[in-house]
Amino acid sequence: MTDYHLVIDGATTPETWSYIDDDAPLNDAPIISLGRLKDQADALRARGGKLGVVLQADDPDKTRGKTSMGEDVHELAPYLDMLSLVSIAFPIYRNGRGYSAARVLRQELNFTGELRASGDVLYDQWAMMNRCGINAFELAGDVSLETFKTALGELSGAYQPAADQQRGALWARGK
Amino acid sequence: MYRYDEFDHKLVADRVDQFRGQVERRVSGALTEDQFKPLRLMNGVYLQLHAYMLRVAIPYGTLRSEQMRMLAHIARKYDRGYGHFTTRQNIQYNWPALDQIPDLLDELASVEMHAIQTSGNCIRNVTSDQYAGAINDEIEDPRIISEIIRQWSTFHPEFTYLPRKFKIAVTGHVNDRAAIKLHDIGIVVKQNDAGEVGYEVHVGGGQGRTPFVAKKMNAFVPKAKLLAYLEAVMRVYNMLGRRDNSYKARIKILVHETGEDEMRRLVEAEFAKIDASQMLTVPQEEIDRISAYFAPPAFETLPADSDGFTKAQTADADFARFVRANVVAHKQAGYAIVNISLKPIGGVPGDATDAQMDVIADLAEHYSLDEVRVTHEQNLVLPHVQLDDLKTVYDVLAANQLATANLGLISDQIACPGLDYCNLANARSIPLAQEISERFADLDRQYDIGELKIKISGCINACGHHHVGHIGILGVDKKGTEFYQISLGGAADENAAIGQITGRAFTEEDIVDAIETVVTTYTDLRTDGERFIDTYNRVGMEPFKERLYD
Ligand code: HEM
Ligand code: SF4
């Protein structure tokens, strides 16, 4: 059981994946940590099958130095061929590091699999997440699909291009 | 001036509807205050000591007369009859009721105004030179690129939840009136040897408790690539900026901790990728479309001198003093730039009443080609006044307490809201500014002292820019009593510098005398024509210290 329900590409979708702790055995569709992915890369590649990873926006252990940066999305590059899902964690809605991670995945690393927002994923952020290339949302239990669609449509246009289909008014005017 | 097209209108209207929904959800309890906070901030709504406060954006400080009239109307209808022009060229209302704010925003939208991104951890309203398009020797009107940046940064999906607020300023002139080196990003319009216009980009300036002058990150970014470059800076910051401590979250800290060279390497690497994708290369047609809005207004062909103007100065000494202090040469013969000081002796820096705003709107409409500007030093400007009309304009200003002839002088101070409005304050700022201005009220003495910028903050957050005052004053708290620390030698112009603290702080009783001591030390030491800042830079701190502390 999960405490969220999943909307993928605008449709309510049953969850088929599960988050797996670092020391727990894998199942058919596991979402694992970046640390485990890196440590067990060879074995995971040999295993084949579906694999997802979760990217943390916080780094309580400060492994990247005193500045407590989140996990580096670029580290996923060598493994993207084996990943069909990346879940970007938003520990608190106001930590916006994941928006950049999403755009880098979509627009620089050309990741085409499922890109999820997990954690504190709230109404007023959905549209922006969507524009950054996130197509799957773990929503709190009582959010209706209708509410979700309303949120996505609140602004009718965009000035700037991002990872979605909108070109941005600065580019599209007069065309 | 830029005019909204259908797209801009629709988006601002959508935004008001969206905020109306958010306010309703807050009132119904569907949103907690914590969840509502970033949403209201992104729409300019702050919570301060007494009430909500609304900050309205004045992009790059340019207003049309109908917009100024709307600001007056809002002061009357939703506030207590005044507004406060801020150091970021915006206007703040201190007393609007939360449930009326969506209606207020609707009214603003009717004149192409909004409160979008005037607070919150996003890219804030872009600021620029108040003399843009009016001053001689400008490389290019800085409002062109400012408008392009405004559009690019508005509702940017990636950069709306940054580690901290983010401020960009642009100047098109070698004399920096926009304090660009004290911004997260400061941009100087440049021309290269081939005659092409591009931008020098400075990154990592800021005030607050750890002030920094920005580092030059790139000496020349071509015009069409500037957004790609800015997006690269923003992405590096969003991914690497600290979120563990809000006092260390500004990009200045990232630049400082990462090192200037490494930061440059990171930005250039990101820039190369974005540039290669070409997705942010602004099309020439769009640059042309926006540039056309800032084409010079319909100036008349006039003689460079005006007899009437010269005679009026001889006949009216007060007018002559006003011209001397507040009027600046225009690039167009027969015109002048007129500064309106919002620092009357003993007044609240930056405040204007609804009636004054209406008067200024009328003057702009009839005598300044419909334009008004707001300055980061909290004054207003009529940018395009004919010399023949100057006396008439002056008389109207004088009749409305708007003709204080003190621009750039000791009584033209910046002061933050301080203890009277702000719950973070250690000390009062506004009453101190008032006392200083009373002490130096005599205009002849002010002219004798010459250019001298005093900036006052009630606490180390530095909203009053004390770090970059020629004389900076900072409110500090000692066991519940108000004390003031003095710093000297700061500057916010092209020679930006952070001031040095003189030594121990002064009590409320002693601070104005201490300022007087600093000023007389300067007048005793100066050589002919030397401004305060020049003298300080020549003689250093010691002579001032000696006089202050023995
Ligand atoms: C209720 C009143 C206010 C409060 C509580 C407040 C709070 C703050 C805080 C906490 C900072 C430091 C932010 C940082 O550097 O990370 C700051 C900076 C600043 N504030 Fe305010 N402020 C208030 C009013 C104002 C007003 C009225 C103005 C304009 C007149 C203003 C202009 C600024 C500026 C220019 C900075 C400096 C930003 C920089 O570091 O470059 N503030 N304020
Ligand atoms: S400098 Fe301090 S006292 Fe002044 S407005 Fe800012 S936070 Fe308040």
HEC secondary structure over B481-493: EEEEEEEECCECC
Residues of chain B positioned with their CB less than 8 A from the CB of A103: 158, 235
State whether the beta carbon of B124 lies less than 6 angstroms from ligand 1.
Answer: no
The reported pLDDT for the residue numbered B246 is 87
**Continuous segment of H or E residues that includes residue B391:** helix B390-399
Residues of chain A positioned with their CB less than 8 A from the CB of B39: 124
The per-residue pLDDT for range B421-477, each reduced to its tens digit, is 888 999 999 999 999 999 999 999 999 999 999 999 999 999 999 999 999 999 998
Two structure tokens written together for B190: 């440049």
State whether the beta carbon of B461 lies less than 6 angstroms from ligand 1.
Answer: yes
Rg (CA), chain B: 23
Q: Could you tell me the fold of the domain covering B134-292?
A: Sulfite Reductase Hemoprotein; domain 1 (3.30.413)
Measured CA to CA, the distance from residue B44 to residue B53 in angstroms comes to 8
Q: What is the CATH number of domain B307-399?
A: 3.90.480.20
**Continuous segment of H or E residues that includes residue B239:** helix B226-240
Which residues are bridge partners to B93 per DSSP?
A: B54
Q: Name the residue type at position A28.
A: D
Q: Do A159 and B11 touch (CB under 8 A)?
A: yes
Residues with Cβ within 8 Å of residue A115, at least 6 apart in sequence: A85, A86, A88, A102, A105, A106, A133, A134, A135, A136
Measured CA to CA, the distance from residue B509 to residue B427 in angstroms comes to 13
The reported pLDDT for the residue numbered A68 is 58
Largest Cα separation within chain A, whole Å, is 57
HEC secondary structure over A65-128: CCCCCCCCHHHHHHHHHHCCEEEEEECCCCCCHHHHHHHHHHHHCCCCCEEEEEECCCHHHHHH
Which ligand has the nearest atom to the CA of B93?
Answer: 1
User: pTM (2 decimals)?
Assistant: 0.94
Strand ranges (DSSP E) for B247-307?
Answer: none
**Continuous segment of H or E residues that includes residue B519:** helix B511-525
Nearest to B19 by CA among B138, B157, B116: B116
Q: Could you tell me the fold of the domain covering B6-109?
A: Sulfite Reductase Hemoprotein; domain 2 (3.90.480)
Whether the predicted pLDDT of A163 surpasses 60: yes
Instruction: Give residue A65's pLDDT band: very low, low, confident or very high (50, 70, 90).
Output: low
The reported pLDDT for the residue numbered B45 is 87
**Per-residue CA distances from A8 to A13, A15, A16, A89, B496 (Å):** 6, 10, 12, 16, 51
Query: From ligand 1's centre to the CA of A20, what distance in Å?
Result: 44
Two structure tokens written together for B184: 């997260």
Measured CA to CA, the distance from residue A5 to residue A10 in angstroms comes to 12
Residues with Cβ within 8 Å of residue A163, at least 6 apart in sequence: A102, A103, A106, A107, A131, A132, A133
Q: Name the residue type at position A134.
A: I
Residues of chain A positioned with their CB less than 8 A from the CB of B162: 96
Which ligand has the nearest atom to the CA of B53?
Answer: 1
Q: Do A124 and B239 touch (CB under 8 A)?
A: no
A162: contact with B, CB 8 A cutoff: yes
The mean pLDDT of A46-54, rounded to a whole number, is 95
Q: Do B286 and A174 touch (CB under 8 A)?
A: yes
Positions of chain B with pLDDT lower than 50, given as ranges: none
Residue carrying structure tokens 């005193």 = A66
Triad B412, B414, B417: Cα angle to 5°: 135
Triad B166, B167, B171: Cα angle to 5°: 155
Measured CA to CA, the distance from residue B141 to residue B152 in angstroms comes to 18
Q: Do A125 and B161 touch (CB under 8 A)?
A: yes
Nearest to A117 by CA among A159, A155, A151: A151
Contact B118, B90 (CB under 8 A): yes
| Structural domain count of chain A | 1
> What's the gap in Å between the CA of B18 and the closest CA on chain A?
6
Measured CA to CA, the distance from residue B323 to residue B162 in angstroms comes to 45
Q: Do B121 and A94 touch (CB under 8 A)?
A: yes
Q: What is the CATH number of domain B414-549?
A: 3.30.413.10
Q: Do domains B307-399 and B414-549 have the same CATH topology?
A: no
B157 — phi, psi (to 5°)?
-70, -25
For chain B, domain boundaries: 6-109, 134-292, 307-399, 414-549
| B215-222 β-sheet, strand order | B127-128, B168-171, B185-191, B197-203, B215-222
Residue A145 sits in a domain whose CATH number is 3.20.20
State whether the beta carbon of B417 lies less than 6 angstroms from ligand 1.
Answer: yes
What is the bridge-based pairing of β-strands B471-478 and B454-457?
parallel
Q: What is the DSSP letter of B306?
A: -
**Continuous segment of H or E residues that includes residue B235:** helix B226-240
> Which of A58, A70, A157 has its CB closest to that of B7?
A157
Contact B550, B544 (CB under 8 A): no
The per-residue pLDDT for range B339-373, each reduced to its tens digit, is 999 999 989 999 999 999 999 999 999 999 999 99
Q: Is B355 helix (H, G, I), strand (E, B) or coil?
A: helix
Mean pLDDT of chain A: 90
Q: Name the residue type at position A173.
A: R
Nearest to A55 by CA among A121, A9, A102: A102
The alpha carbon of residue B231 and the mean position of all alpha carbons in its chain are separated, in whole angstroms, by 23
Measured CA to CA, the distance from residue A99 to residue A130 in angstroms comes to 9
Question: Quick check: ipTM above 0.90?
Answer: yes
Compute the count of residue pairs across chains A and B with CB atoms less than 8 Å apart: 119
The reported pLDDT for the residue numbered B36 is 86
B158 — phi, psi (to 5°)?
-85, -25
